[in-house]
A and B are shown apart, each in its own frame.
Chain A
Amino acid sequence: MAQAAIELIGINKSFGAVRANRDINLEIARGTIHGIVGENGAGKSTLMSILYGFYQADSGEIRVGGQPASIKSPNDAIALGIGMVHQHFMLVDNFTVLENVILGAESDALLKKSIAKARSELERLEREYGLEVDPDAIIEELPVGLQQRVEILKALYRGAEILILDEPTGVLTPAEADHLFRILRQLKEQGKTIVLITHKLREIMAITDTVSVMRQGTMVATRQTTKTTVGELAELMVGRRVLLRVEKGEAEAGGVKLAVKNLTVRDSRGVTMVDDVSFDVRAGEIVGIAGVAGNGQSEMLEAISGIRRAVSGSVMLDGKPIDLTGAADPGELRDRGLAHVPEDRHHVGLVLAFEENENSILGYHDDPRYVRGPFLDIDAIRDDARDKIAKYDIRPADCRLKTANFSGGNQQKIVLAREMEQDPGVLIVGQPTRGVDVGAIEFIHKRLIAMRDQGKAVLVVSVELDEIRSLSDRILVMFAGRIVGERGPEASEGELGLLMAGVEQREAAE
């Protein structure tokens, strides 16, 4: 039996009334990749922050390499050989890679020597682990995947033997994620211990040796990855059986509600992001747009919902055109029955500093239901918000709580509740379940299908292929700004994957 790299014994941590971690026991074997899964808010990140010295446990013991350890600050953790790659990178954006790597671990009071030492050390690490990155590049000019590599280098430069990664693939493209996994396997071969926090079960199955499941602050199970299944893990995470594929009947498509014709959109640099795209969405069907992030889906969504200027083409809503000059009045579009759940809920969908009930009417605040004379009808708004909270199971069930204090999944439910409850004719949803946990995904999918069954036209854009396949009645695949294929929901993952990679298109051109 390999010696444990880390043992956590009876860890407790509360934030006010919230018990984030209760009596956690966990043993992580040296030289393995250990996954920790759980829904948002299950306490995974808190537990790892305790291990990294960012928080102190209220009670409990940590042992590193068999020795009891007192970790009071990240400094102590670093000294014990623990490194962490945070979900939101802890990098100084306008510093170079080298400057970021040495920050806090400078070998000398003058930078010249520290940098020279770091440069040769970095070269060694790059050779050893295949972590190529230009040491003189400025962080903000690097793609996200490389920024993450810098975070890993930072930890290794500090001599980390145990590497904690918090939701590392959330920001990565599938190709970048694959590369990351190759790096992690290589690190494992070199004897490093890796702790991977995620809520993506597919990743757990693909890369970990052992997996622990957390639910509501407790550690509910630890399994050998080879001896468990996605279904079992999902069940453990939410405490009940989860439908990973939502049941749905045949679509009964009616008339065309939304017609996009020859739409072309350029981004701020003048690069064509959407290139002559045409499609229809009919009443009573869900049309899914699949594609690797960055192939024009975001720009297309923004153009259709009137936020971004289109260069040419037309979008008809119920047979009448939508203003595509980028100056469309969103209020008018809402009145015409177009509801939009934006991809980026933090910046576009919500005002995080507002209370929940204020966000639940945002954009509909002129509706006669919510106003009394020139004033907002606060009681009506709060009653309405409470209804939505009950109906969409938004937690915590407190409409006076600041929106920033809800978890990602619940924030998404707030936006969805707001848009769906207005009974729109056409619903456009960008990344319906980004950063949302398994239980909430199922719920959101069911609501979207219920919308369809009520005869609404639903357009879903998602980078999660599973989601597209499970929801859509028709799947359109976008690649390099064009729709390169249309398939039914029965299309195989492999077939769609090839389309998303633009393979078929290239073959056709040859």
Chain B
Amino acid sequence: MDLFNAIIQVLDSTIRLSVPLLLACLAGLYSERAGIFDIGLEGKMLVGAFAGAASASVFHSAYIGLGMAILISVAFALIHGFASITHRGNQIVSGVAINFIAAGSTIMLGQAWFQQGGRTPALASDERFGAIIWPGADAVRGVPILGPIYSELISGHSVLVYVAFLAVPFTWWVLFRTRFGLRMRAVGENPAAVDTAGISVAWLRYRALICTGVLTGIAGAYLSMVQNGGFVKDMTAGKGYIALAALIFAKWKPVNAMFACLLFGFLDALSIRLQGTPLPLIGKVPVQLMQALPYILTVILLAGFIGKAIPPRAGGVPYVKER
């Protein structure tokens, strides 16, 4: 029964840890499907996290925090769009610039506004998104096997967790069942076809980037207002890049993206769980190695296990009308 509880705990933290990855991964999916590489997921999450925590603590409302996180993150997405769509700049350079601006400005503004070394004030419980307890969760806790699965894994997460997982079928539906999705996929494959069909390539790509900004904003809010009780500098810690890796791993498909992010989340959860625990045969493994494990496995998975991942064909190439 101990083992069972341990598994439930690891799976529970798998869900919690994969949520920001999943949101960022779906965010990247929108922009890359539309042909815009977005290495700035990391930066947009970071500004989202900062804007969320800062405004939640000032206005004492989690929802205002979430709104500001989305707003600022979308604004950064539009900057990326302005550079790479309107001015046909290099998308990698623009994305990297956004990451740097995000890392620097959050610390600077945090220090200027709150004087806590770049942190935002610790959020009170009503300024954060609390856990939602599903009906009957407490009642069934005692039921063997199914009880803990229901009360720990399914119930008891914040609203943003459910938003993240509902975003998966929603994204799939948008992508493959709506006119917007068809056009977005087309513009990522062959923008000239979209242009000659009489649709604006730029406007379509901007809309895709707005979707990206909304999702990275939610991801940021999750980090600073759910996982943590406030903003800490560089709190995204590379999640934006892992999300990009997951996106490739998932071959730019929403349901695959969910499983890829759950896998990365699971590896992360496992490494935390196994820290300091002696393993059979091997003995005690250094903490650093355990922490590196998800990244090592990322490299191995990406190098060997996914087969050929074909990105959207027009990805990374600014659209210029041919003469």
A interface residue numbers (CB < 8 A to B): 15, 46, 52, 54, 73-75, 77-78, 84, 86, 88, 90-95, 99-100, 102-106, 108-112, 114, 154
Contact = CB atoms under 8 A, between A and B. Distances in A.
B198 interface: yes
A78 B196 CA distance: 10
A108 B186 CA distance: 17
A104 B178 contact: no
A94 B189 contact: yes
Contact of A103 (B177, B178, B182, B321): B182
Contacts of A46: 323
Given A84-B196, A93-B313, A103-B194, 16 more contacts: A54-B321, A74-B197, A74-B198, A90-B195, A90-B196, A90-B197, A92-B189, A93-B189, A94-B189, A100-B193, A102-B182, A103-B199, A104-B183, A108-B179, A110-B178, A111-B177
A73 B198 contact: yes
Given A110-B177, A111-B182, A112-B177, A103 B323 contact: no
Nearest to A84: B196
Nearest to A106: B179
A305 B18 CA distance: 55
A93 B198 contact: no
Counting chain A CB atoms within 10 Å of each CB, the highest count among B177, B181, B197, B321 belongs to B197
Interface in B140-197: 176-183, 185-186, 189-190, 192-197
Contact of A106 (B182, B195, B321, B323): B182
A46 B181 CA distance: 32
A221 B4 CA distance: 87
The CB with the most chain A CB atoms within 10 A, among B194, B198, B313, is that of B198
B186 A92 contact: yes
Given A54-B321, A111-B177, A112-B177, A92 B196 contact: no
Given A111-B179, A111-B182, A104 B199 contact: yes
Contact of A75 (B177, B189, B198, B321): B198
Interface of B: 176-183, 185-186, 189-190, 192-199, 313, 321, 323
20 contacts: A15-B323, A52-B196, A74-B198, A77-B198, A90-B190, A90-B193, A90-B195, A92-B185, A92-B189, A92-B193, A93-B189, A93-B190, A94-B189, A95-B185, A95-B189, A103-B183, A106-B179, A106-B182, A109-B178, A111-B182
A158 B180 CA distance: 19
4 nearest A-B residue pairs (beta carbon): A104-B197, A75-B198, A90-B193, A74-B198
B179 A110 contact: yes
A113 to B, nearest CB: 10
Contacts of A86: 196
Contacts of A111: 176-179, 181-182
A148 B33 CA distance: 26
Contacts of B189: 92-95
A493 B321 CA distance: 42
A422 B182 CA distance: 52
Contacts of B192: 88, 90
B99 to A, nearest CB: 29
Nearest to A53: B198
A106 B197 CA distance: 11
A103 B197 contact: yes
Contacts of A109: 178-180
Contacts of B194: 103-104
A150 to B, nearest CB: 11
Contacts of B199: 103-104
A108 B177 CA distance: 11
| B177, B182, B192, B194 — most chain A CB neighbours (10 Å) | B182
A94 to B, nearest CB: 6
Nearest to A15: B323
A81 to B, nearest CB: 13
Nearest to B198: A75
Given A108-B179, A112-B177, A103 B195 contact: no
B296 to A, nearest CB: 33
B276 to A, nearest CB: 49
Contacts of B321: 54
A86 B197 CA distance: 12
Nearest to A46: B323
B33 to A, nearest CB: 12
A215 B176 CA distance: 47
Contacts of A110: 177-179
Contacts of B196: 52, 54, 74, 84, 86, 90
A101 B197 CA distance: 10
Most chain A CB neighbours (cut-off 10 Å) among B176, B180, B186, B194: B186
B123 to A, nearest CB: 39
B183 to A, nearest CB: 7
| Among A52, A88, A90, A112: residue with most chain B CB under 10 A | A90
Nearest to B180: A109
Contacts of B313: 93
A91 B323 contact: no
Given A78-B198, A103-B186, A104-B198, A91 B193 contact: yes
Nearest to A89: B193
A73 B198 CA distance: 7
